[in-house]
């Protein structure tokens, strides 16, 4: 399982999913909640497992719709 430091996780999310989340934003999400799962290596160092980044990114998107009327339904 590949693991990413915050700056690499930010780059991965942008390249794979088009999600712009800076390392600072990821740090805020770690503090407030709502971000991808991570592993703490030391008091100041974390890594993100690739499968956690993928699951989190995919949870950000809605199901495919053909028109805006389907979004409300």
- List CB contacts of 71: < 8 A, sequence separation 6 or more: 62, 65
Model confidence pLDDT, tens digit, residues 24-58: 999 999 999 999 999 999 999 999 999 999 999 99
Confidence of residue 66 (pLDDT cuts 50, 70, 90): confident
**pTM of this structure:** 0.86
Percent of the chain with pLDDT over 70: 97
Confidence of residue 73 (pLDDT cuts 50, 70, 90): low
Percent of the chain with pLDDT over 90: 82
Q: Which residue has the tokens 């942008």?
A: 14
Question: Can you give the residue ranges of every domain in the chain?
Answer: 3-72
> Is 23 within 8 Å of 30 (Cβ atoms)?
no
């Amino acid at each position: 399982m590949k693991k990413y430091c915050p700056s690499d996780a930010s780059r991965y999310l942008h390249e794979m999913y088009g999600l712009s989340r800076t390392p600072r934003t990821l740090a805020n999400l770690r503090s407030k909640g709502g971000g991808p799962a991570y592993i703490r290596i030391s008091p100041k160092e974390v890594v993100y497992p690739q499968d956690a980044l993928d699951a989190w990114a995919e949870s950000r998107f809605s199901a495919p719709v053909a028109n805006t009327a389907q979004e409300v339904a």
